């Protein structure tokens, strides 16, 4: 609380002399103001909403099902994307007898191809197959491209030895 210190002041000096006015000093107690400041800081810290991390939702297959029960993909609607090392992408249409082409992650590369194929083929299914040389960033970038382009059906699949041999021939 604010206090007034009334100590000190003038003394009486003989007859007929005027009394000096007492000097009053003020002393302000700052404890309540500090308490209020900490209460406000605590209140705003507890009521602030922090930014939530953004996550990508991926539906993984259930382990109880066998691979034989998986849905078969029509060859005409299947597109396979192989993520190679050095930010290279190999892709082909269909499942058998692949004609492999090479592209990159630019807007004129894989995104353009995905947009064209998604317009041409209804219910396009993209099989994403990362090699051991592919970086984690490449997989995330490809999943982002699927979202950007609007491809609804895609899957992360293991690469086959035949596809590895085809890539080695292209190098």
What CATH number does the domain containing 141 carry? 3.30.420.270
CA atoms within 13 A on the CB side of 150: 9
Provide mean pLDDT across the span 7-14. Answer: 55
Flag whether 110 is in a domain: yes
Is residue 142 within 8 A of residue 134, CB to CB? The reply is no
Q: Give, for 163, the enclosing helix (H) or strand (E).
A: helix 161-170
Flag whether 65 is in a domain: no
Q: Provide the domain count of the chain.
A: 1
Over the chain, what is the mean pLDDT?
A: 79
Q: Which residue has the tokens 């849905």?
A: 71
pLDDT for 114-149, tens place per residue?
A: 888 888 888 888 889 999 998 989 898 998 888 888
Flag whether 66 is in a domain: no
Return the higher-pLDDT residue of 153 and 3. 153
Q: What residues have CB less than 8 Å from 97, skipping those under 6 apart?
A: none
Percentage of the chain with pLDDT > 70?
76
Flag whether 85 is in a domain: yes
Q: What is the pTM of this model?
A: 0.59
Return the higher-pLDDT residue of 4 and 21. 21
Flag whether 38 is in a domain: no
Partners of 130 in beta bridges: 83
Confidence of residue 93 (pLDDT cuts 50, 70, 90): confident
Flag whether 97 is in a domain: yes
Residue 166, CA distances (Å) to 77, 78, 90, 101, 138 in order: 21, 18, 10, 11, 20
Flag whether 40 is in a domain: no
Structural domain for 155, as ranges: 75-170
* Vertex 84 angle, CA 81 and 90, to 5°: 40
Flag whether 100 is in a domain: yes
Per-residue 3-state assignment (H helix, E strand, C coil) for 110-158: HHHHHHHHHHHCCCCEEEEEECCCCCHHHHHHHHHHHHHHCCCEEEECC
């Amino acid at each position: 609380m604010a206090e007034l210190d009334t100590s000190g002041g003038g003394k009486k000096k003989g007859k007929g002399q005027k009394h000096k006015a007492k000097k009053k000093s003020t002393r302000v107690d700052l404890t309540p103001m500090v308490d209020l400041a900490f209460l406000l800081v605590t209140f705003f810290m507890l009521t602030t909403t922090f930014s939530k991390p953004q996550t990508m939702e991926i539906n993984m297959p259930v382990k109880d099902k066998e691979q034989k029960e998986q849905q078969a993909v029509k060859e005409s609607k299947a597109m396979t994307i192989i993520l190679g090392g050095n930010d290279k992408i190999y892709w082909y249409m269909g499942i058998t007898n692949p004609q492999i082409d090479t592209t990159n992650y630019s807007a004129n590369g894989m995104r353009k191809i995905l947009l064209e194929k998604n317009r041409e083929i209804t219910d396009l299914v993209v099989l994403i197959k990362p090699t051991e040389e592919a970086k984690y960033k490449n997989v995330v970038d490809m999943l982002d491209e699927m979202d950007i382009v609007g491809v609804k059906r895609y899957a992360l699949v293991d690469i086959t030895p035949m596809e590895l041999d085809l890539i080695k021939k292209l190098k």
